[in-house]
Every structure is written in C-alpha cells, then in structure tokens.
Amino acid sequence: MKRAAALLALLLTACGGGQSATPSPSATVAALPSATPPVSFVPVSTPNANPSPAPSARTVTFRDPANGNSLAIEVAITAGDRGHFVFAVAAGIYGGAAPVRATLSSLSAPMTIAYDGPIDFTDAASGATRKIDVALRGTIDPDAHAADVVLTTEKDRFVITARPPDAGALARALDRMEAALIADDPVALYAVTNSEVKAQYTQTQFVEAWQAQSASTGRRITAMRRTAIGGVVESDLGYASVDVRYSADITDRNGSRMTGYIAYFVFEDGEWRLWTTSEN
C-alpha cells in the first residue's frame, strides 16, 4: 500500500518525487485453438560481445501480450539447471519445484528449445497438482526478448508469440495523458493509468485525492511539450517500459515556471499505460 500511495502522490502532484519506474503490469490469459503451424524463427539480437562476468543464472520470461501466456526459462550457459522452464496459462502452471529441463540448441541466440515428457501441472482454481505429458517446441532470443513457442498437451495447445512492443504505439496514450493533465481531468487521467494504480484505488478515490491536493496546492500543468521519447526497455521478467520527457509549464500559488517532466509508461494487455511521473 505504501508504494501505491507513493505512485498516486506522484501522479497527483504532477511534478513530484524524482523516482524511476519499476513496472510490474498484469495480463489476461487465454488458451488458443489446437492447430499446429510451424514455429517461426525470431530475429537475431545483437549479442553482448564481452559479457563480464558471465552470469551463473539468468531466467528470462517471455510474455504474449495477446493472450497472456508466459514462459520462464533458465538460459545462462553455466547454470546447472539450464533449460529449466515454467509455462503459465489461464488454467494454471506447467512446471514447479522439480526441475524439468528443455534442450536448448545453442549457446547463443536464436535458440530452439524442445521438451517431451511429464511435467507438474498446478490448477489455478483448486491449487491441485498432477502429472501431465507435454511437448514444448519453439525458438527464443533472450537478448531481444522475442520468442515463438508452443506447448501441447493431449487436449490443449498454448502459443506464445513475444516481441518487444513498438514505442510508436505510444502516441494515443500520450495524447490522452497530456490532454487529461492540461485539462486537470482526473477521470480521464485515471483511464490511462496502469493496473497497479487501478488495483489500489477506485476511480472515485483517485478523483477525490486529486481534487483535494489540487485545492491544497493550486498546482496545474498548463502546457506540455514532448522533448524525447526513450527506447523501449524490456526486462528479463518480460515487462516493457518507456520514458517520455517533456518541457512543462507549471502554475501554483507561488506563480508560474517551466520545468522538465518525465512520464513513465508500461505495456499492459496490448497497450501502453501510464505508470508514474517525476519532475526532472
């Protein structure tokens, strides 16, 4: 609750803090129909030619923004459990404490992965665990955070198509955020915030807090000019973020001034969402 309160405070002040984003968005999940097209290769990323030191463990998570399916797999060359994976879908999780290891075809990207055999399946609704036979096939590029993967059971087939999102899709979200801030419209701003803010605050609570602080400080953003849009950064947890920098005009009870302003966005459920803001 403390972190959520801090996030809300940054949004409410519209120029406070100076904190950086550590996004943890959520996603919805759905199984896909059982067809079996060939798995395509993902683009080759630019490797780090001089890794120092070579990591002894590196679990990379690939998330499909369209259906929410995810694959977490150990890819470090020196890891004792290289290839250990967990595949999560709406119905539950394939994998668990007992290491089930896929075969990785190479030491560098792109890598094909394969596994055939039993795995623990934990039901999301009941928590019950049972053994089930699965086949895992696909291609992954850990550095590019891209993957084409298929998990097949006797009854189901689940697909992951993961690519870093394009920052170009930010435009609509930026327009909405800027219009909301300049209009001092907390309802419109709440609509573009990410799932963590919405999980902690209802729209009514957000609006009430916004209005109370506006009345207390008199602070308003009257103009925003985009100065830079950063590159998309995707973590090994499978979450993408981007920061957008502004020159902003601010008024409050002390008068008017110009300031630097940063808005941090995360990619959730196929679209960009406002995470938090800071003055720079």
DSSP class per residue in 32-55:
BP---PPPPPPPPP---SS-SSPP
What radius of gyration, in Å, describes the C-alpha atoms of the chain? 22
Q: Examine the fold and report which residue of 144, 162, 180 is the final residue of a domain before the chain moves on.
A: 162
Q: Is residue 93 part of a domain?
A: yes
In degrees rounded to 5, what are phi and psi of residue 189?
-70, -40
Span 268-279, pLDDT tens digits: 877 899 998 888
The answer to whether residues 225 and 170 belong to one domain is: yes
The answer to whether residues 155 and 170 belong to one domain is: no
Q: Which amino acid is at 246?
A: Y
Q: Is residue 153 part of a domain?
A: yes
Q: 20: domain CATH number?
A: 3.10.450.100
Number of independent structural domains in the chain:
2
Q: Is residue 80 part of a domain?
A: yes
The answer to whether residues 145 and 189 belong to one domain is: no
Q: Which residues contact 2 (CB under 8 A, 6 or more apart)?
A: none
The pLDDT confidence band at residue 54, using thresholds 50, 70 and 90, is low
The pLDDT confidence band at residue 52, using thresholds 50, 70 and 90, is low
Residue 50 has pLDDT above 90, yes or no: no
Q: Examine the fold and report which residue of 143, 162, 181 is the final residue of a domain before the chain moves on.
A: 162
Span 221-265, pLDDT tens digits: 999 999 999 888 888 888 888 999 999 999 988 899 999 989 999
Span 185-202, pLDDT tens digits: 999 999 999 988 898 899
CA 220 to chain centre: 30
Q: Is residue 51 part of a domain?
A: no
Q: Examine the fold and report which residue of 142, 162, 182 is the final residue of a domain before the chain moves on.
A: 162
In degrees rounded to 5, what are phi and psi of residue 100?
-115, 120
The answer to whether residues 134 and 225 belong to one domain is: no
pTM given for the model: 0.66
d(CA 68, CA 89): 7
* Domain extent at residue 174: 2-26+166-279
